[in-house]
Amino acid sequence: MKNTEMELNIYKNKPSGVILGFEPTDYIAGKSSPIKKHKELTSDWRPYMPKHEIQFINDPNHTGNNTAVYETSFCTAYSGTDVIETIFNYYIKNNLISKEDLDWLQEKGYIENGEVNLSERYTGILAGLNEHGGYLSWIGDSLRNYGAIPNSMLPNNANSYEEYVSTDNITQEMRDLGEEFKKRFPISYEWIPDNKAGEYLKYSPLHCTVRYATGEGILDPVGQHNHAVMEVYRTNEYELINDSYYQETKKYKLGNPSYFLAYYIRLNNKDMIFKKDKNSSNIYLINEEHKTKTMVIDMPTLNAFYGEFEEADLSDYTEHGTFVWTERIIN
């Protein structure tokens, strides 16, 4: 069933890997979401897709050297962490992440071969996924509340499904690192109505659902959606999805995928503190260390850096010129 009007219904028909629906308290873009508009990044996320990982464990027909074979039902976790990895890869490849944050990711083991690789198990276990899968929002809440850890810290190598999903896997060391990640890179998410998904693809790859199908050409399967994927690109004819089943990318007919989530990662911009002077209408970029204030030229500049601000008395700060997003001038 499609949610073109984003009805607040919960469907629990025992699908394979994803449970359709969301809670009335979830954020919906344009309706109940307090998330501020983010900077446009790209509508083509294909160059930034992470390493292809398959949710079947040790399937001898495809990946196999070991004897343990089982389905994780973690498609929501695989596709959700793929979204976060893709956004990080975009930041890294476009030099939009600070050296401090990049060094931290390297030091803690998040980066493999130049790309971020997160643990699906950590996110999925803390989301409460089970043999029926789970809601997309469970993954958003897990990432928001518990952060993320490197894949190498909790890889997909358990000898059984029971071992794979056991909460005994989650150590205090993992929780501490996830908490540090959460503070450094706060993650938020919101539901996107189907008719707005193309617009929001500019801000985030989209975590969404499909009816599982395989093959070449443009797929248009009929039936209840039962699989979670990541959308990375679309045309007037199809939506390109990244899949944690064997076929990495597939084309689905435009309008076939549904239940869209967009994710946002706030970078560690310790020098990007914006405040409005309570004694004027001016908004400033604040440097707390040197007690200087640099006036922001306009709202597009503020929005380009995800600027949020509070009102404060800035009379003790020294004027330090003006601030404008240089990419706007170059373009």
Q: Which single residue is written with the structure tokens 């000898």? A: 159
The CATH number, out of the four listed (3.30.2390, 3.30.460, 1.10.3710, 1.10.287), of the domain defined by the range 273-330: 3.30.2390
Q: What is the CATH number of domain 46-265?
A: 3.90.70.10
On the question of pLDDT at 6 being above 60, the answer is: no
In whole angstroms, give the CA distance from residue 48 to residue 283.
Answer: 34
pLDDT, tens digit (0-9, with 9 covering 90-100), for 129-159: 988 889 999 999 999 999 999 999 999 888 8
Query: Is 28 exposed, middle or buried (CB count within 10 Å of its CB: 0-12, 13-18, 19+)?
Result: middle
pLDDT, tens digit (0-9, with 9 covering 90-100), for 49-71: 999 998 877 654 544 444 557 88
* pLDDT grade for 289, boundaries at 50, 70 and 90: low
Coil, helix or strand at residue 310 = strand
Instruction: Give the sign of the dihedral formed by CA 280, CA 40, CA 211, CA 254.
Output: positive
Q: What value does the mean pLDDT take over residues 26-47? A: 80
- Give the pairing of strands 283-287 and 309-312: unpaired
In whole angstroms, give the CA distance from residue 123 to residue 19.
Answer: 17
Domain boundaries, the chain: 46-265, 273-330
Give the global pTM: 0.77
b vs e for 118-143, b when ≥16 Cβ sit within 10 Å of the residue's Cβ? Answer: bbbbbbbbbbebeeebbbbbbbbbbb
Q: Is residue 72 within 8 Å of 56, Cβ to Cβ? A: yes
Q: Is residue 185 within 8 Å of 105, Cβ to Cβ? A: no
Q: What is the pLDDT at residue 57?
A: 77
Q: What is the pLDDT at residue 272?
A: 59
On the question of pLDDT at 328 being above 80, the answer is: no
Q: What is the pLDDT at residue 65?
A: 46
pLDDT, tens digit (0-9, with 9 covering 90-100), for 75-117: 999 999 999 999 999 999 998 888 889 999 999 999 999 999 9
pLDDT, tens digit (0-9, with 9 covering 90-100), for 14-34: 336 788 887 777 778 877 776
Query: Is 83 exposed, middle or buried (CB count within 10 Å of its CB: 0-12, 13-18, 19+)?
Result: buried
Q: What is the pLDDT at residue 304?
A: 56
